[in-house]
Amino acid sequence: MRNVGKKTGWRIFRVPAEPRYPPSELIDRAAYGVVGEVVRAVAAQSEADPAAIIVQFLAAFGSLVGRRAYFPAERDRHYPNLFAVLVGETSRGRKGASWGQAICVFERLSPQVDEWLANCTSSGLSSGEGLIHALRDRAASDDASGPTSAPADRRLLVRESEFAAVLKMFQREGNTLSAVLRQAWDGETLNIITKHSAEKASGAHISVIGHITREKLTRNLSQTEVANGLGNRFLWLCVRRSKLLPEGGDEAAVHLTAARKWLRRALEWVWTLDETPLRRSPEASHIWRESYEELTAGEPGLAGALLARAEAQVMRLASIYALLHGEAEISRYSLRAALALWEYCEHSTRAIFGSASGDSVMDTILGALRLAPDGLARTQIASLFSKNLPGSRITQALEALMARGLVISYFVLTAGRSAEVFQLSPQNEMP
C-alpha cells in the first residue's frame, strides 16, 4: 500500500493513499461457470479489474433477462436487477475499460440482444420524473406509433461514468431521483404524487452501474442516502488496474466462442420463463442456513449501514448466476459464487468507508484525530466546529466513539486543573 507522510508537530503520521484491496481469491470463487469463461477470455488482454468485469457482466445479464424470473422472500419479489458502483482511481482504475470488456460478449449475440443494447442501455440520471417518463405507462391519449409514445420495453440499464454527478443530484432540494431509485430496486411501480406529474411506470426493470473515485464518493454520499436506505441497495466494489499492458491488449487473442455459446443456450431457456419464482436447492438451502446468521448480524458505523441488505443482495446475485446456468432451482455452486462476490463487496465497503460512522460530528473528530497522533484536548475539538456546536453534542459524539473502541482518553496534569485528551485508539490507527 502506498503511503504519504503528513507532518504534525515533530511526528510523522502516515495516511493510506488508497483503500485496502479485498482478497483476490474471492473473485476467483465468484468467477463460476460462464462468468469465469468471460473473465478468462478478456482479462488476459485487458488492464481492467476482474471484479469490475464480473459485476458489470452480471448486471448486464440481469437487465437483459428482465422480469422473467424472481426470487421470493416473504411477500417481496427480488428481480435480477442490480445497482453497483465501482470505486477506483480516476484513470488508473480502468473503470471505463471494464465496461467494454464486460459487455463485448453480448454484442452481435442475437437480434433480441442487439435490440436491448440499442434501446435499453443509457446514461444521464437527473430526476425521478425523468426516469419515470423514460419508462412511463401508456396514457389513453397516446398514439402507439407516434414519436412520443410510451415505450413497450420496460428494461433500462443506466451506466454513469461520473456517479458523483448523480450523488449531487440527490442533494438538490426537491429532487426525487433517490426516492424513485429506491422504488426501482424494490420492483415497485414508479410514481410520484405531485401536482404537476401524473405519470407512472409499472413493471420497470432498472439496473444501475456507477463509476466514481473514493474521494468523490466519501465527499458526496450524504447521510440522507445512507439513512433512507438507498446506499445499501448498491453494491460497492474497490477496483484497480489489474496489470500493465503498455501496448494495449490483443483483441484478436480474445476468444469468446465458448462464452457466447453458453449465453445463447441460457437465453433460449430464459425466454421461455414468465415471472417464474426461483428456489434454492436442498444443498443450497443448507449453505444458506449456515451463512444466514452472519449475513444478518449487522455492524455499527457507515459501512454497517451500507451492508444492511446482505441477504437480499446475495440472493439477487445467486439468481443471476442461476439464470446464466439454466437453473430454476438455485444450486449450491451459484449460491457460493454469490456469497464470494458479496464478501468481496463487504471487504470493499469497509475499505472505502473505514471506521466512518455516518455521523458528521463523529467523522469530523475522527478525521482530526488521525492527523493528531498526540491527541486533541476538548477545547481543540470544539474549535473544529468554530465553537458553534453545543458542548453536549460534542460530548455525545466522543462517548459514542469511545463506546465503539475507536477513541481513548486520558488526563494530563497542568498548572491548573487536569485536561482530558482524546486520541485515536491503537487498533484504529492507520498502518
Fold designation for 14-353: Rossmann fold (3.40.50)
Q: If pLDDT is split at 50, 70 and 90, which confidence band does 430 have?
A: very low
Residue 4 reports pLDDT greater than 70: no
**What are the DSSP calls for 227-273, one per residue?**
HTTSGGGSEEEE-------TT---GGG---HHHHHHHHHHHHHHTT-
C-alpha separations of 342 from 152, 248, 317, 325 in Å: 33, 31, 8, 19
Least confident of 239-248, 286-295, 373-382: 239-248
pLDDT given at position 126 = 92
Q: If pLDDT is split at 50, 70 and 90, which confidence band does 1 have?
A: very low
Least confident of 177-181, 361-365, 403-407: 403-407
158 within 8 A of 206, measured Cβ to Cβ: yes
Nearest to 83 by CA among 221, 181, 189: 181
Q: Is the dihedral of CA 99, 322, 306, 17 positive or negative?
A: negative
d(CA 330, CA 327): 6
Written as nine digits, the cell of 149 is 409514445
Residue 45 reports pLDDT greater than 70: no
Q: Around Cβ 72, how many Cβ atoms within 10 Å?
A: 12
Express each pLDDT in 322-365 by its tens digit: 999 999 999 999 999 999 999 999 999 988 887 666 677 887 88
Element (H, E) at 48: none
Written as nine digits, the cell of 426 is 491503537
Average of per-residue pLDDT across 108-135 = 94
d(CA 245, CA 335): 34
Q: Where are the domains of the chain?
A: 14-353, 360-428
Express each pLDDT in 194-235 by its tens digit: 656 678 999 999 999 999 998 888 778 877 787 789 999 999
d(CA 9, CA 153): 62
One fold for 14-353 and 360-428: no
Q: If pLDDT is split at 50, 70 and 90, which confidence band does 11 have?
A: very low
| CATH of the structural domain 360-428, one choice from 1.10.730.10, 3.40.50.720, 1.10.10.10, 3.20.20.140 | 1.10.10.10
Q: Around Cβ 86, how many Cβ atoms within 10 Å?
A: 28
d(CA 80, CA 61): 8
User: Could you tell me the pTM of the whole model?
Assistant: 0.80
The residue with cell 460478449 is: 105
Which amino acid does the sequence have at 205? Answer: H
C-alpha separations of 120 from 55, 115, 135, 162 in Å: 18, 8, 10, 19
Written as nine digits, the cell of 390 is 453545543
3-state secondary structure of 88: coil
Least confident of 151-165, 201-215, 238-252: 238-252
Residue 245 reports pLDDT greater than 70: no
